[in-house]
Structure 1
Amino acid sequence: MDKDKLEEKLNNNLEKLNYSLEKSNIFDLMELLGSKRKLFVRNFISGISKGIGIGIGFTVLTAILIIILQKIVTLNIPVIGDYIADIVDIVQSK
């Protein structure tokens, strides 16, 4: 009798563990780590995507900053306009 209860309890715990592992996608991770090629391809594509995203984001932010600075220069604000004009002169001279 005790052996049957122990076996049933063990089986129940194994089912809970199996459900938890399936829910956490640990099997997919184990499969991915088992294949070095899949891991390399996934990390390579991830790195390329991040690099392209950073490049596009930096380009957009720089363009917005340049547009804002151009608008500030056209407003002829004495202190800021002179400062930006000095920066432009320094950049153009080099």
Structure 2
Amino acid sequence: MPLSKEQEKRKVPSKTRGDEKRQEENQRFEQLLDKLEDITTNGRLKDMAYHFTDTKQVIKTNLIAGVARGVGLTVGTAIFIGLLILILSQLVSAPLVGEYIANLLDIVEANRDNE
């Protein structure tokens, strides 16, 4: 069904039909983004000011972080070495690599017994 002359005059061109809506949405999005930026910046500044002015808090935080890193590294290394020894012990029966791995496991066992 064709449009009447009056309808043709009132018709908004297709390129600009949604521009006003998009502009409003963009403005709201930019305002929201500005608010989020202000909140995160102010939060970080407060956090930094608190941590750098209170030396006890700085020492406590760094001590806990150091202990956590040390324990994590130790546990992770122990698990990795344990899995490596388990895999290598399964490869002892391999024809070419078996002798080398067997010697390596004997050295590990000897060092473990010395401790």
For Structure 1 versus Structure 2, the TM-score category normalised by the shorter chain is 0.5 to 0.7
Q: TM-score, normalised by structure 1?
A: 0.67
Identity among equivalent positions (%) equals 27
Equivalent residue, structure 1, for 2:17: none
SS of residue in 1 equivalent to 2:97 = helix
Greater gyration radius: 2
Equivalent residue, structure 2, for 1:48: 67
Q: From the two aligned structures, give the one with the greater helix fraction.
A: 1
RMSD: 2.2
Instruction: Give 1:1-94 correspondences, 5 Å limit.
Output: 20=38, 22-24=39-41, 25-73=44-92, 76-91=93-108, 92=110
Q: Structure 1: which 5+ residue stretches go unaligned? A: 1-15
Amino acid at match of 2:87: I
Structure 1 position 47, deviation (Å): 0.4
Structure 1 position 86, deviation (Å): 2.4
